[in-house]
Amino acid sequence: MKPFTGAPGQLLLPLGLKAAASLETFYRAANGAALDAVRSLLQQPSPVFGLYLHGPAGVGKSHLLQGAAQFGPSWVPYLDCAVMGEEVGAFLLPDAFASLIDAPLVCLDNVDVWVGGHDREMFLYGLYNERFQRGRPLLLAGRESPRQLPWILPDWASRVTACLQIALQLPDDAERLQILQAMALRRGLRMDEEVARYMLRHQTRDMGALELLLEKLDAHSWAQQRQLTIPFVRHCLETEAGV
């Protein structure tokens, strides 16, 4: 995670942004409503205070949150609750908390992993209230709908369930094929439909994992000055797997 270098007196905040995760590169498919809602949240003033995206891994929740964090010229913190661990205590310090309160938008990913942690839910509750008073929106994401989660702090549960909630869907096979080819094209890689189908048959269909795999194929293709043919991709995959 890279740090945010804030103004004097502000605590450094950990970020984990990927440059490729922009709103422009998000494939709408069945999740166009989520993209539109995020774009609406970025309007000033925003018509919505809190937006909660939920769905299984690989649907693009993190992509949308990171895209929102990188959309405008102002600093917008993106925090992944799943990797925060004990660091959450640092955000209760005045300078760090003030940084989150005053940001034009705060993006909190994997919020559901904090369910059942009293200090963590208190932090979320306090952040929600302070930002609500200032009219500054929150963008949250988790795998489950907040209504289905066993929050232990009733006040926070009532706040988070009041957010606009949108469920994201996994792409079907045809959409995965198009997304994979578009991801390759953004890297300057030409991927024929046959190659894309081969990858989807023989590799995980999680789009996040496929993106990491494309990074490796990109490196092999550049180093060996080779096109993405099925034999070349097979060789690269076997090399990565140690076969």
Tokens, residue 156:
């926070």
> Hey, what long-range contacts does 127-130 have (CB within 8 A, 24 or more apart)?
127/97, 127/100, 127/101, 128/50, 128/156, 128/159, 128/160, 129/159, 130/97, 130/101
**pTM exceeds cut of 0.85:** no
Which of 2-11, 63-72, 125-134 is predicted least confidently?
2-11
Contact 199, 180 (CB under 8 A): yes
Place of tokens 């649907």: 59
Q: Please give the domain boundaries of the chain with CATH numbers for all domains.
A: 2-167 (3.40.50.300), 173-241 (1.10.8.60)
Q: What is the CA radius of gyration of the chain?
A: 20
Which position has the higher pLDDT, 143 or 170? 143
CA distances from 220 to 80, 126, 171, 216, 238 (A): 30, 48, 27, 6, 12
Which position has the higher pLDDT, 207 or 175? 175
Q: Decide the pairing of beta strands 13-15 and 2-4.
A: antiparallel
User: What is the per-residue pLDDT across 61-82, written as a single tens digit (0 to 9) for each?
Assistant: 999 999 999 998 888 999 999 8
Measured between alpha carbons, how far apart are the two ends of the chain, in Å? Answer: 31
Most confident of 6-10, 78-82, 158-162: 158-162
Contact 181, 211 (CB under 8 A): no
What is the mean pLDDT of the segment spanning 208-231? 86
What is the mean pLDDT of the segment spanning 83-104? 73
